[in-house]
Amino acid sequence: MNLFKLVWAFIRRRPLTWAFNVLTLSTGVALVLALVLVSQALDNRFRRDLADIDLVIGAKGSPLQIVLSAVFQMDTPTGNISLAEAERFTRSALVSRAVPVSMGDNVQGARIVGTTLDYPKLYGAELAAGRWWGQPMEAVLGASVAQRLGLHPGQSFVGAHGLVGSADLHRRFPYRVVGVLKPTGAVVDRLVLTDLGSVWQVHEHPDADERATDPNRREVTALLVKYRSAMGALMMPRLVAAVPDLQPAIPAIESARLFSLLGVGAEVLQGVGAAILGLAAIGFFIALFGAVSQRRRDLALLRALGARPSLLLMIVALESALLGLAGGLIGVAAGRALAAYAGHVSMAAASGPTLIPPPAGAIDLAAIGAALALALVASIGPAVIAARTDPARELAGA
Amino acid sequence: MLLAEDLEAGRGDRPVARLSALSVKAGEAALLLGPSGAGKTTLLLALAGLAKSFSGRVRIADTDILALRGAALDRFRGRHIGFVFQDIHLLPGLSALDNLLLSPFAAGVAQDRERARALLASLGLGDKAERAAERLSRGEAQRAAIARAMLLRPQLILADEPTASLDDPAADSVATLLLQAAAETGAALVVATHDARLKARIANQVMVEAAA
């Protein structure tokens, strides 16, 4: 005979009540945990994509759109900017590094980005196979693109016009795969990288040969800028804004705005999760209260057998704690599954950012601990009532 | 073994029943008689310190039970007093054996499984030790409760209306079992009852009086 056996015997007498309350508790835990995991995954994802980019210079338009298109590769660009104008900033003393990006084509939904070798360096991307590009029409594939399209170094593909899949193929300008990147967890995984010159070559009108050779007319989509010092943050946006066709966009500000937009939905769901947790706490309280009143005479019997009031208190607290623990464990398992499913759904949505929830750790323990604490708090009142059982009243009242 | 004098017991703030004198030797038995509602159970519980006593003296062996409080009282009750109630016998969800072991568990003393099994066997429940309490018949549950009362070799066994609602043969056999239990463990047995059938078996009889 031991305390656990005794408590288990009590729990078994009310299987449906407890099944329902554990279900409620685990639902609340799962919902809150899944939301925290998904928002952490989003946060990590965006943080990685932001790399060290302090400023994006794009064509006049919405700064949020510029950041979404040029950094996260999720929206269409606002337009193109003149390479000559952009290069004025590249050479500025305020800038330590400026990476041009040029978009316009895709291969089966994966964006083809013309850039320099500085771009993969932003994300610490390394080659898994092959080599970097050395001339126009050579391409290096991000890890998930290579896997999805089944392309290896040496093979060729043609791009399609636009940023999503289309039938408008540039058959005259096939790309040759020269390298494949290792996974980085960042935006480069789902991009096809190539030389800036490739994009010009593919898009220049066949009749206008002089444009191809005129460097003053060349365009890029955006310039990703890293400042040399804090002075850059003070000066650069104003300098860029002064140029009529250019729009400065600060990724830190725009992604904060984006999060505040997404945050509303997350807050609502988090509120729902908290409400379910509150309901679970009330459910535990009511169930324990009912259990204690139902077993008054059993508790009185234990007192007659020599049990101290503290033992009756512990029985109720342990009963609640065991069920709270069960709710926490089930909730964490379900929350993990929910977050993994959300990540999977976002992956399935073609070129959307893949979400990888953070690995199991402190947050899961915290969720289980919270469920346990909630159950224990709910048990305080009923446990005290149990401890105050008056054996004379229960045993003589028959 | 048990000596009670001028014991007034009750619930709340006033005494309801009085016991002028009760003396039971080790291994022997006494009846606490009185009509229903006279306060027999309350007096019985007061003998174990479970109901409130207002005056009088109760000694079990060398212990003045009314002087004990809190943990000391609970410890003494757990180790030295066995109970058999009218209808609260066993805890459902636990086996008969575990219900016996509930007594040493609640009292915080070592659990002697072998003695518990032997007691169940001696009461004809040898093959039902592992059976869940709710699957035992009423009579079997009561016998298991008697075994539990004997388990720790108490100095006093208190039984509350053990034969109420039993037919004659069953009442007779329960009386026999209780007397044997007292004799075997050397405990004083006090039976609170209004059952006239027990008067023929136990000569030491005390009437419960109304409190002054």
Taking residues B7-12, what's their average pLDDT? 87
Q: Is A9 an interface residue toward B (CB < 8 Å)?
A: yes
pLDDT value at position A350? Answer: 44
Taking residues A114-128, what's their average pLDDT? 92
Structure tokens given for B29? 């038995």
pLDDT value at position A166? Answer: 66
Q: Spell out the residues 6+ positions from residue A376 whose beta carbon is closer than 8 angstroms to its own.
A: A317, A320, A321, A324
For all residues of chain B together, what is the average pLDDT?
A: 92
A130-148 pLDDT tens trace: 999 999 999 999 988 898 8
Backbone Cα Rg of chain A = 31
Q: Is B193 an interface residue toward A (CB < 8 Å)?
A: no
Nearest to A288 by CA among A25, A1, A83, A49: A25
B110-152 pLDDT tens trace: 999 999 999 999 999 999 999 999 999 999 999 999 999 999 9
Q: Give yes or no for residue A263 having a pLDDT over 80.
A: no
Domain count, chain B: 1
B41 vs A contacts (CB less than 8 Å):
395-396, 398
Where are chain A's structural domains?
Answer: 3-47+264-396, 55-249
Strands A95-107 and A222-227: antiparallel
> Is A392 within 8 Å of B50 when comparing Cβ atoms?
yes
Separation in Å, CA of A327 to nearest CA in chain B: 22
pLDDT value at position A365? Answer: 94
Query: With bands split at pLDDT 50, 70 and 90, how would you rate the model's confidence at A229?
Result: confident
Query: With bands split at pLDDT 50, 70 and 90, how would you rate the model's confidence at A85?
Result: confident
Separation in Å, CA of B124 to nearest CA in chain A: 22
Q: Give yes or no for residue A212 having a pLDDT over 90.
A: no
> Is B93 within 8 Å of A13 when comparing Cβ atoms?
yes
Helix (H, G, I), strand (E, B) or coil at A135: coil
Query: With bands split at pLDDT 50, 70 and 90, how would you rate the model's confidence at A91?
Result: confident
> Is A306 within 8 Å of B107 when comparing Cβ atoms?
yes
A7 vs B contacts (CB less than 8 Å):
none
Taking residues B173-185, what's their average pLDDT? 93
For residues A241 and A235, what is the distance between their CA atoms, to the nearest angstrom? 10
């996260």: which residue's tokens?
A72
Q: Is B131 an interface residue toward A (CB < 8 Å)?
A: no
> Is B42 within 8 Å of A396 when comparing Cβ atoms?
yes
User: Which of B40, B87, B94, B95 is most worth mutating to test chain A (most A CB atoms within 10 A of its CB)?
Assistant: B94
Range of the domain at B82: 2-210
DSSP state letter for B57: E
> Nearest chain A Cα to B106, which residue?
A307
In chain A, where do the E strands start and end?
A: 55-59, 81-82, 95-107, 110-115, 127-130, 138-141, 156-161, 169-181, 191-195, 219-220, 222-227, 246-249
A14-43 pLDDT tens trace: 899 999 999 999 999 999 899 888 888 877
In B110-208, where do the E strands start and end?
A: 156-160, 188-193, 205-207
CATH number at residue B86: 3.40.50.300
> Is B85 within 8 Å of A303 when comparing Cβ atoms?
no
């967890």: which residue's tokens?
A185
- Amino acid occupying residue B121: A
A395 vs B contacts (CB less than 8 Å):
41, 45, 50, 85, 88, 160
pLDDT value at position A42? Answer: 78
